[in-house]
Structure 1
Amino acid sequence: MHAFAVLPDDSTIHDLDIPTPSPEGRTVLLKVTRAGVCHTDTHLRAGGYDLGSRGMMNMKDRGIEYPMVLGHEVVGIVEQVGDDVESVRPGDVRLIYPWIGCGECRHCREGSDNRCAAGRNLGVARHGGYAEYILVPDEKYLVDIEGIDPSWAATLACSGLTAYSAVDRILPLEPDEPVVLFGAGGLGLTAVALLRARGHRNICAVDVAEGNLALARSMGASSTVLSGPGRGAKDIRRAVGGPASAVVDFVNNGVTATSAFEVLAKAGHMVQVGLFGGEVTIPTALLALRMIHIEGSFVGTLAQLQDLVRIARSGKLPNIPVVERSLSAAEVSRALDDLTAGGIAGRIVLTA
């Protein structure tokens, strides 16, 4: 089969011929029809993550094998199934939950694969969806998306799920308590839509692009702040009417994390999601005196994805903008370049 992969220390996307896997037991082989493009893929292509003064977290040093077939927002048609598969059959269309753990630790046994320290995520530690076919290690990771546009559905596996999980961490709040979202790309827009769907009214989106802020307002943000030189925490507090009860940082670099801490109210909740990298210095006395709650959030659980799909199917979740392109080595490369450069409104989904 064709697979569009990265090699060690090489940002080029290569069109490789690799063996098509055969499913056994509970595994399922799907023909890829949609593959969303995520900022995580840009970091993986670059070889790791920026840890600020600690340097670079190198994927090779963490045991990731190359060539690496990226792509973790995947919808496909079931092609073949293992002998023990009962819930799907060839021809079924399914969304894939890609955040797969070891299957043995406490977190995996509790259904929180995304917390597993030995994760075997599709598109990272296992071949992902930038390919003709993808092998899913267990039928339980397949989610029925009947009635949902498949391109939008693909984005639910990461940007949708990540936003859902982050919003879950800050609610419940009173509907008019200020919530600030840093970043109004695919994740931030989904978070706006989810907050509105759950009855929240005071939502401020912060972004460097006015086009993204216009989309945020159209999806229900009550206020927006254009970030840039000379703009900071005071402007955000003014927009929401005071300190924020909660902040979700979908960018999570040194600048946004610093602003996030500064806009929080006493006992405020700061959820760090983005992987743009850097570091932040926080006064330890203020952390205690203001009783600030800081936590990281990485994607979500299979149960949360299933719930998110139910919400999407109900019509309560507005579609985020999706740009469709063809699934090929050239288009994978162009999409990753465009994401790295910024300016993409919503999400890019590659179609086969």
Structure 2
Amino acid sequence: MSANAYAVLEENGPITTIEVDVPPPTGRAVVLEVTHAGVCHSDTHIREGGYNLGNGSLLRLADRGINFPITMGHEIVGRVVAVGEEVVGCAIGDLRLVYPWIGCGECIHCLAGHDPLCARPAAIGVARPGGYAELVSVPDEKYLLDFDGVEPALAATLACSGVTAYSATTKALDAREPTDPIVVIGAGGVGLMAIATLSARGHRSIVAVDVNPANLEAARGLGATTTVLATGENPAEAILAAIGGPASGVIDFVGSSTTANSALDVLGKGGRLILVGLFGGELKVPTVVATIKMLSVLGSYLGDLQDLREMLALARGGQLPSIPIQPGTLDRESVAASLSKLISGEVRGRIVLSPNAETATVER
């Protein structure tokens, strides 16, 4: 099968469109026609070729074992067009949500269902060709989820934004009471999803922090009980004043030196900092303070297949408030423009591209 791939990157090169051959699936593999592809901020780092480590250092994609060219796109909903001979859980014509964060399939982590911990990741849209294309190949049907009852455009965002938010909020909610303040720094697409997720999971003290008033307005609509416009010189001081004391948890969806260090200043005894954002920088923690305050600092990157199932259940049950979604056409120009908008901070919520940009959904 031949198909267009709309967002192919060579290292330090432009986004291009090429025609590729998609081999017929064998075994448990499935090929889908892409109907919806969410645009994620992490794709901007792929386009830039790496991640800022602070102090002038860069973690290149090649250092993570990721090779160019790359067809990006990892928030994918598609219609099944071909199946391997061992596939039993879906048929041609079915719509499915793709879990993209797959591993090698053989190590102890993959066999236990914790693919993101795999030392040899093979994520779709990063190590494998992704969803900014006409067709996408998935190596095993276990990575396809039926999302009946959920709008396809929203379902697509759950594959990264949703599962990342769910995993991070699980870490933040551990041993916390519903009224303990949890601060969400960064009310962009994933931050808004986290606010919606905290609300859906019954948390009643959610503090949204952002530099954009429009993002804070959206956060209030999704369940934030307190909002902080962090435009001053001391964000931590403004957050503490807004909530009247320290927080029990902070989830940082920016991940800059400023936000991460401000988050530490906000935490009370036993507080937990969850680092998610990839903006880049350094975190400096006085060892004595970390010990006396009994602080925990956790990295949270993606979520496993079970996290996505549980997130999908929240959406299917009507408990998850719907974040703002901007539709667009699935082509090279729209992918490039969408990534530029993300970098400049013009996007409220998520962008979801589809072959027919006039509708954000498809017939089920």
Normalising by structure 1, report the TM-score.
Answer: 0.98
Structure 1 residue 55 and structure 2 residue 68: aligned? no
Q: 2:337 aligns with which of 334, 337, 340?
A: 334
CA distance in 2, matches of 1:327, 1:140: 26
Give 1:62 deviation, angstroms. Answer: 3.3
Q: 1:129 aligns with which of 124, 128, 131?
A: 131
Q: Which secondary structure state, in structure 1, belongs to the residue aligned with residue 21 of structure 2?
A: coil
Give 1:259 deviation, angstroms. Answer: 0.5
1:252-297 Cα offsets, whole Å, 9 max, x none, are 1101001110000011011000111111211111111111011100
Q: 1:216 aligns with which of 212, 216, 219?
A: 219
Q: Which secondary structure state, in structure 1, belongs to the residue aligned with residue 306 of structure 2?
A: helix
Give 1:54 deviation, angstroms. Answer: 6.0
Report the counterpart of residue 359 of structure 2 in structure 1.
none
Report the counterpart of residue 319 of structure 1 in structure 2.
322
1:7-57 Cα offsets, whole Å, 9 max, x none, are 1111x2101111123211111000000000001100001101111126111
Q: Which amino acid aligns with 2:262?
A: S
Q: Which secondary structure state, in structure 2, belongs to the residue aligned with residue 140 of structure 1?
A: helix
Report the counterpart of residue 79 of structure 2 in structure 1.
77
Aligned length: 351
Q: Which amino acid aligns with 1:298?
A: Y
Q: 1:116 aligns with which of 115, 118, 143?
A: 118
1:170-196 Cα offsets, whole Å, 9 max, x none, are 214212111100010111111111111
Report the counterpart of residue 362 of structure 2 in structure 1.
none
1:106-165 Cα offsets, whole Å, 9 max, x none, are 111111001111110000000000000000010000000111110111000000110110
Q: Which moved more, 1:55-64 or 1:243-252?
A: 55-64
Q: Is the 8 A contact 2:200 2:314 kept in 1?
A: no
Q: 1:100 aligns with which of 89, 95, 102?
A: 102
Report the counterpart of residue 139 of structure 1 in structure 2.
141
Q: Which secondary structure state, in structure 2, belongs to the residue aligned with residue 51 of structure 1?
A: strand
Report the counterpart of residue 190 of structure 1 in structure 2.
193
Q: Is the 8 A contact 1:209 1:343 kept in 2?
A: no
Report the counterpart of residue 231 of structure 2 in structure 1.
228
Give 1:231 deviation, angstroms. Answer: 3.7
Give 1:60 deviation, angstroms. Answer: 2.7
Q: Which amino acid aligns with 1:136?
A: V
Q: Which secondary structure state, in structure 2, belongs to the residue aligned with residue 14 of structure 1?
A: strand
Q: Which secondary structure state, in structure 2, belongs to the residue aligned with residue 18 of structure 1?
A: strand
CA distance in 2, matches of 1:68, 1:188: 26
Q: Which amino acid aligns with 1:24?
A: T
Extract structure 1 runs of 4+ deviating beyond 6 A.
Answer: none
Report the counterpart of residue 92 of structure 2 in structure 1.
90
Give 1:63 deviation, angstroms. Answer: 3.1
Q: 1:244 aligns with which of 230, 244, 247?
A: 247
What's the % identity of the aligned pairs?
50
Alignment of 1:125-204 (within 5 A): 125-171=127-173, 172-204=175-207
Task: List alignment gaps of at least 5 residues for structure 2.
Answer: 356-364
CA distance in 2, matches of 1:347, 1:310: 20
Q: Is the 8 A contact 2:256 2:281 kept in 1?
A: yes
Q: 2:11 aligns with which of 8, 20, 26?
A: 8
Cα RMSD for the two superposed structures: 1.0
CA distance in 1, matches of 2:346, 2:229: 14
